[in-house]
Structure 1
Amino acid sequence: MSHTIATATTAAKPKLKTSAMIASIAGEGQATRSAPFGHALAELGRHKQNVVGMTADLGKYTDLHIFAQAFPERYYQMGMAEQLLMGAAAGFAHEGAQPFVTTYAVFATRRAYDFMHQAIAEDNLDVKIVCALPGLTTGYGPSHQAAEDLALMRAMPNMTVIDPCDAVEIEQMVPAIAAHNGPVYARLLRGNVPVVLDRYDYQFELGKARLLRDGAEVLVISSGIMTMRALEVAKALEQDRIGVAVLHVPTIKPLDTDAILREARRTGRLVVVAENHSVIGGLGEAVATTLMRAGACVPFRQVGLPDAFLDAGALPTLHDRYGISANVMADTIRGWLA
Structure 2
Amino acid sequence: MVELKENRELGPELRSCVVSAIEELMAENETVVALEADLGAASGWNRLASADPQRFINVGIAEANMIGVAAGLNLAGYTPFVHTFGPFATRRVFDQLFLSGGYSKNTINIYGSDPGFTVGHNGGTHTTWEDVALLRMIPEAVVCDAADAVQMKWIIKEFSKHKGIHYVRGNRKSVQNIYVEGTDFQLGKGNVLAEGEDILIIAAGQLVSEALTVSKELSKQGIRCEVIDMFTIKPLDRQLIMDEVRGKKRVVTIENHSITGGLGSAVAEVLAEENLAVPLLRIGVDEQFGQVGTPEYLQEVYGLTAEQIKNKVIESMK
Q: TM-score, normalization: structure 2?
A: 0.93
**Separation in 1, partners of 2:8, 2:138:** 39
Query: Structure 2: which amino acid aligns with 1:41?
Result: I
Deviations 1:132-168 (A, max 9, x none): 0112212233201111111111011232111111101
Deviations 1:262-296 (A, max 9, x none): 111x2133110111100111110111011111111
Count of aligned positions: 309
Contact 1:305 1:322 in 2 (8 A): yes
The answer to whether residue 288 in structure 2 is matched with residue 308 in structure 1 is yes
RMSD of the alignment, in Å?
A: 1.7
Contact 1:127 1:184 in 2 (8 A): yes
Partner of 2:248: 268
Contact 1:218 1:270 in 2 (8 A): yes
Contact 1:221 1:247 in 2 (8 A): yes
Partner of 1:323: 303
2:160 to 173, 178, 181: 178
Partner of 1:123: 104
Deviates more, 1:189-198 or 1:160-169: 189-198
Compare the two structures and name the one with the higher helix fraction: 2
Q: Within 5 Å, which residues of 2 pair with 1:1-338? A: 30-34=9-13, 35-139=16-120, 140-198=122-180, 202-264=183-245, 266-338=246-318
**Separation in 2, partners of 1:138, 1:98:** 28
Deviates more, 1:90-99 or 1:323-332: 323-332
Query: Structure 1: which amino acid aligns with 2:310?
Result: A
Deviations 1:271-327 (A, max 9, x none): 101111001111101110111111110011011012111332222222122111111
Partner of 1:9: none
Q: What secondary structure does 1:111 align onto?
A: coil
Query: Structure 2: which amino acid aligns with 1:128?
Result: N
**Separation in 1, partners of 2:210, 2:50:** 34
Give the Å deviation of 1:228.
1.4
Deviations 1:60-96 (A, max 9, x none): 2233223222222211000000111010000000000
**Separation in 2, partners of 1:309, 1:294:** 33
Q: What secondary structure does 1:328 align onto?
A: helix
Q: What 5-or-longer segments of structure 2 have no aligned partner?
A: 1-6
Give the Å deviation of 1:121.
1.0
**Separation in 2, partners of 1:245, 1:29:** 18
Identity between Structure 1 and Structure 2 (%): 33
Contact 1:37 1:190 in 2 (8 A): no
Query: Structure 2: which amino acid aligns with 1:32?
Result: G
Query: Structure 2: which amino acid aligns with 1:241?
Result: G
Query: Structure 2: which amino acid aligns with 1:268?
Result: K
Q: TM-score, normalization: structure 1?
A: 0.87
Q: What secondary structure does 2:180 align onto?
A: helix
Q: What 5-or-longer segments of structure 1 have no aligned partner?
A: 1-27
Query: Structure 1: which amino acid aligns with 2:66?
Result: L
**Separation in 1, partners of 2:266, 2:56:** 36
Distance 1:248 1:108, change over 3 A: same
